[in-house]
A and B are shown apart, each in its own frame.
Chain A
Amino acid sequence: MADEDVASPDGAATGDGAVACRDLSRRFGEGGAAVDALRGVTLEFPKGHLTAIVGPSGSGKSTLMHLRAGLDKPTAGQAWIDGVEVTGLDDKGLTELRRGKLGFIFQFFNLVPVLDAAENVELPVRIAGKDVDPAWRDRLIEAIGLTDRATHRPSELSGGQQQRVAIARALISRPAVIFADEPTGNLDSKSGGEVLGLLRRSVDEFGQTVIMVTHDPKVAAYADRVIVLADGEVAADREVSGEDDVIALMRDL
């Protein structure tokens, strides 16, 4: 858990939030064909919250996440994770960041097919060259309900089970923030519900910070807070309660 007290950059709007960004802009292409995917977005994601970024296709929600996670470079603006300025890091720095402070959950579960469930869970720790804490690993596997299937390979698991493994994998290194990209996009509603319930629990039980990108109001309803993006700008940003509230928020725009 990233609870060390890192000083915020001077004058930055990071507050004590785990994750923040200021004036993030991203322009694709040049000249007349240029598209502004993101136009000066400033946001703060407090610790221990599940935040959903929603918006229609082309709204800039994926771009925002890519920039936030250091996968892409902004045209202008800055982003911080746990006090570290992501937008200024080189490849080496980003690798270090991913090892210590970042977790990812993908739409296509992206497990390593040749490793079993438990090995997939502990992979980030082993890649970082650290020792696996077996108690923590076992607790996570128990939490995802796969204790009896820990030695199964991904091809022997259902989609929902695979995504649960992916969640445990994201949690294993106790990152400052987990980015989830349409985590239920490839699942049926029952499995999706289980996966979202698990994400919710990781926030409630482990105090994990999660940022989730989705286009589905049902999914967004699991969040504490919903940020609606439209045309590269924040159109709405507030706490929500229940699916109807999310739908109402999105309809208002």
Chain B
Amino acid sequence: MFALALRGLASRKLRAALTALAIMLGVAMVAGTFMLKGSVDKAFDDIFAEANAGIDVTVQPKSAFDTGFDLPESGAALHESLVRKVESVDGVEKAAPAINDSTSIAILDENGDRIGPPGGGPPQIAGSVEPEPFNPFTWVEGSAPATDSEVGIDSITADEEDYQVGQKITISGARGAKEYTLSGIGRFGSGIPLGGASFALFTLPEAQAITGKVGEVDNIDVEASSGVSPDELSTRINAILPQNAEAKTGAEDAAQQSADIKDGFSFLTTFLLVFAGISVFVGAFLIFNTFSITVAQRTREFGMLRTLGASSRQVLATVFSEALMLGIIASALGIVAGLGFVALVTGAFKAIGFELPQSGVVITADSIIVPLIVGIVATLGSAIVPALRATRVTPLEALREDAQGTEKPSRRRVWIARALVLVGILAIAAGLFATSSFGSALPLLGLGLILLFVGIAMLAGTLVTPLASFVGRPIEKLRGVTGRLARENTLRNPSRTATTSAALMIGVALVVFAAVFAASATKSVGDALDETFAGDLIIANTDGFSPISPDIARQVGDVEGVETVSQLSGAPAEVETGTTEQSLIAGLDPATITKVATLDWVDGDNATMTGLGPDEAIVESQWADDHGVSVGDTVTLRTTTGEEVPVHVVGSLRDRVQLLVTSLALPLDTIRTRFDARQDFADLVGFTPGADAAATGDRVDKLLADRFPQAEARDQQQFKQEQEDGINQLLALIYVLLALSVIVSLFGVVNTLVLTIYERTREIGMLRAIGASKSQIRRMVRYESLITAMIGALIGAVVGLGIAIAAVEALKSEGLVLAVPIAGIIVVLIVAGIAGVLAGIWPARRASKIEVMEALQYE
């Protein structure tokens, strides 16, 4: 039977190749994701290991809790005097202070813009030159900076920006922009690309000054005397350290830093795997369809095998062996193609300025075993139903003339389909409305979507007729008999058309969902900005997320025409509300915030804000409801340094999209002094009434350009545009990844068309005999392809819209409001139609090559 299966595959090479291609793409995405993860993980391990190569023990500020990857640094640093204390510990050979700060500086180009991609990019790190053996840099050109007007740059950045030793480079920091002379170019470790990050090295005093840490250091690196182990030494040092500092061995520190950043990158892995899963799922549809058609076409062959004495198990084995072999071959090819996916993702990230750090592609066991299993299981799983159908072929059917009956969906099948749709909707609803975190919602949403899509695909057979008429009638009106034939052809076997178009439905549904969701998010942020922001300008980092220097507020406040500058700051803290939860605590300036922001008070008024005392807080009302906090309560906050700060809740306001307040807001001074928040997230600026807005804006721009080039002032409209651009960039990435699953579904359309054309060879020959031209035959097939694609696209658009509406409804409490981009959806439908026509081109060419002679052939 196995040999028979192999022959079967070989005799249907084209079909096998098309099917294999569909599985291959999904598998390639799975394999590529694992390879990417392996490579990036290894690169980070290498980077941090090299950075800490000469460090036995390192002393760092101690955070009372892990602030995670996405919260900004609080700016906590160690006092310089600690260096002496560490040096005096027995077993310390050498101790050196260092600055290592990734949020304070911006390296500027000749136009005063931050180097790297516009609108943000990888971190730019300010460091101090360290003595041997701690120094991870090797000076390949020039030498280390020796004066406070010199800087050293890492070799990769220097290459990219074409820096020459001796030239001037402007770098802005806590005190504004300053010009430095490039004293040398240093290679970090063995020269591994750092994922686009740049290093600027200064003398220690200059590094302290530019990062706003005069008299402070970020860490103290220690070399152990011979005979003292790093573990032993770190225990001894810890004994003398104050509460806000801790000592770790260099190896521990490297492992932890690497783990932290890998953790941050794991979202990317999950993200990519979700899309890989979608492609595999779409591929499964295609396999199911191909095997269904093949089994139907081979009914006579199976019946003949049964008459020759084959058991139904042997028939099952024939189909299964074919699926197994297809799965193995396609998965193996997919793993190889995974390298291509790695290149695609790496290229996409490079295009938007985030180079993924790599020290060579790492092919882990995971990246071979997982995709292999996924590919084979998906293939076999999809072949089960058609294979079982093959076993039901009776010997009698070998004798029947027209063995390819168009089966009507049975009553049972319809009920199963309805049950699937219902359970799918329930699972999606549970995922959306009944879970508290994205992590726990994801499996439910995934399962729900799979059930929903399979159910709809099974039901789609009944939708095909009206939809084919809806799509096909205009074509028929315009193009006459070829359109008529095309429409009727899609109705010959509605369940086949349904499954084929369902594959495309999935891609279109997800695209429409993403488009609607993104439009809703954009609108929500825009609306909230309109409602909340009452000032004239927002000053924020050019990258959109990094903090800015508090000096900016002071200096902008002196600009002619500016009346109010209100600083927005904040710090991470653990909030005690029965459960302990980490949150970002906002720091607002009570004296000025009400002049530039419209606060939506639930309990209290602007006077509550103006009179906010140092240990008083205002809560975001939704957050307060969720956490059982009400006005009058006292909430205990724990800072990153471990200090407990009890605050008294005196007011409550609604901030739908958490523009100003996520959970609690404290007076700016409290955030500065007790939470050590040194930098600002943004400044809100209000002009003097009657001031010339344009002129004042220009003056602010000029000040920022001259003194603080990493900051940028935007008016409300520009700020909204920027938020929208950010969302659209993410949307574009999602579209690219979904495009892969759409391509898979187009293979499905091609495959089905090729198979049905094969079935209709004699009929097409006859059409030629009665006068149909080649181009008429081609047109007929292309229209059939178009109609099939449009059926999938229309159902998909409705399903995607439905899911998006549900998702927006679920996130209503987070401030999301629905916006439906109708033009965008129409574009999606048009693109799907074009894709359908493109998918039809090649099958149409094949069909047009059928000769009249074939209509005359006696079987």
Chain B, residue nearest A99 (CB): B771
A106 adjacent to B770 (CB under 8 Å)? no
Q: Contact: B766 with A110, CB < 8 Å? A: yes
Supply 8 further A-B pairs (C-beta < 8 A) apart from A112-B766, A127-B770, A170-B770.
A62-B856, A92-B773, A95-B771, A106-B856, A112-B763, A112-B767, A127-B481, A181-B856
Q: 16 A-B pairs, CB-CB below 8 angstroms? A: A69-B852, A92-B773, A95-B774, A98-B771, A104-B770, A106-B856, A108-B762, A110-B765, A110-B766, A110-B855, A112-B767, A114-B488, A115-B484, A126-B481, A127-B481, A170-B770
Minimal Cβ-Cβ distance residue in B for A122? B481
Closest to B488 in A: A114
CB pair A91 B771 closer than 8 Å = no
**Residues of chain B whose beta carbon lies under 8 Å from any beta carbon of chain A:** 480-481, 484-485, 488-489, 491-492, 762-763, 765-774, 776, 851-853, 855-856, 858
Q: B851 near A71 (CB under 8 angstroms)?
A: yes
Contact A71 B772, beta carbon cutoff 8 Å: no
Q: Which B residues are in CB contact (< 8 Å) with A103?
A: 770
CB distance from B690 to the nearest CB of A (A): 75
A165 at the A/B interface (Cβ < 8 Å)?
no
For B770, list chain A residues within 8 Å (CB): 98, 103-104, 123-124, 127, 169-170
Asked if B772 contacts A95 (CB within 8 A), the reply is: yes
Q: Once the chains are docked, how many angstroms separate the CA of A18 from the CA of B249? A: 103
Chain B hits for A72, CB < 8 A = 853
Contact call B492/A114, Cβ cutoff below 8 A: yes
Q: Is A110 within 8 A of B774, CB to CB?
A: no
Q: Are the CB atoms of B485 and A71 closer together than 8 Å?
A: no
Quick check: is A32 within 8 A (CB to CB) of the other chain? no
- Known contacts A98-B769, A104-B770: A129-B858 contact under CB 8 Å: no
Residues of A whose CB lies within 8 Å of any CB of B are 62, 66, 69, 71-72, 91-92, 95, 98-99, 102-104, 106-108, 110, 112-115, 123-124, 126-129, 169-170, 173, 181, 185
Instruction: Give the CA-CA distance A41 to B41 in the complex, in Å.
Output: 80
Chain A residues contacting B489 (CB-CB under 8 Å) are 114
Given A72-B853, A114-B488, A181-B856, check contact A104 B766 (CB 8 Å).
Answer: yes
| Contact yes or no, A127 B856, CB < 8 A | no
Chain A residues in 8 Å Cβ range of B484: 115
Q: Is the CB of A114 within 8 A of B491?
A: yes
On whether the beta carbons of A113 and B492 are closer than 8 Å, the reply is yes
Q: Is the CB of A127 within 8 A of B855?
A: no
B485 touches A112 (CB 8 A): yes
With a CB–CB cut-off of 8 A, which chain A residues contact B763?
A: 110, 112-113
> Contact check: which of B485, B491, B762, B769 meets A104 at CB < 8 Å?
B769
Q: How far is the CB of A98 from chain B (nearest CB, A)?
A: 4
Tell me how far the C-beta of A186 lies from the nearest C-beta in chain B, rounded to whole angstroms: 9
Q: Counting chain B CB atoms within 10 Å of each CB, which of A103, A108, A170, A173 scores highest?
A: A108
Residues on the B chain within 8 Å of A124, using CB? 770-771
Distance, CA A108 to CA B762, complexed state (A): 9
Minimum distance in angstroms from A67 CB to a CB of chain B: 11
Report the bound CA distance from A106 to B763 in whole Å: 11
Task: Tell me, in angstroms, the Cα distance from A181 to B481 when the chains sit together.
Answer: 26
Whether the pair B856, A107 counts as a contact (CB closer than 8 A) is yes
Is A123's CB under 8 angstroms from B481's CB? yes
Which residues on B sit within 8 Å (CB–CB) of A108?
A: 762
Give Cα A103–Cα B852 distance, bound, in whole angstroms. 12
A110→B764 CA distance, assembly (Å): 9
Chain A residue at smallest Cβ distance from B482: A127
* Contact present for A126 and B491 (CB under 8 Å): no
Residue numbers in B under 8 Å from A173 (CB-CB): 771
Q: In the bound complex, do residue A114 and residue B485 qualify as a contact, i.e. CB atoms below 8 Å apart?
A: yes
The 4 closest A-B pairs by CB, nearest first: A114-B488, A99-B771, A110-B766, A126-B481
Q: Which residues of A contact B488 (CB under 8 A)?
A: 112, 114-115
**Interface contact A127-B766, CB-CB below 8 Å:** no
**Nearest CB of chain B from residue A201's CB, rounded to whole Å:** 21
Report Cα–Cα, A69/B771, bound state, in Å.
12
User: Cβ of A110: which chain B residues have Cβ within 8 Å of it?
Assistant: 762-763, 765-766, 855
- Please, which residues of chain B bring their CB within 8 A of the CB of A95? 768, 771-774
Q: CA A98 – CA B480 in complex, angstroms? A: 19
Measured between alpha carbons, how far is A196 from B485 in the docked complex, in Å? 30
Residues of B within 8 A of A169 (CB): 770
Residues of B within 8 A of A115 (CB): 484-485, 488
User: In whole angstroms, how far apart are the Cα atoms of A142 and B413 in the complex?
Assistant: 43
Given A98-B769, A114-B491; A71-B853 close (CB under 8 Å): yes
User: In whole angstroms, how far apart are the Cα atoms of A103 and B769 in the complex?
Assistant: 8
- The interface residues of chain B lying within 8 Å CB-to-CB of A126 are 480-481
Check B491–A71 contact: CB distance below 8 A. no
Which residues from B are CB-within-8-Å of A102?
769, 771
| Partner among A92, A107, A129, A170 whose Cβ is within 8 Å of the Cβ of B480 | A129
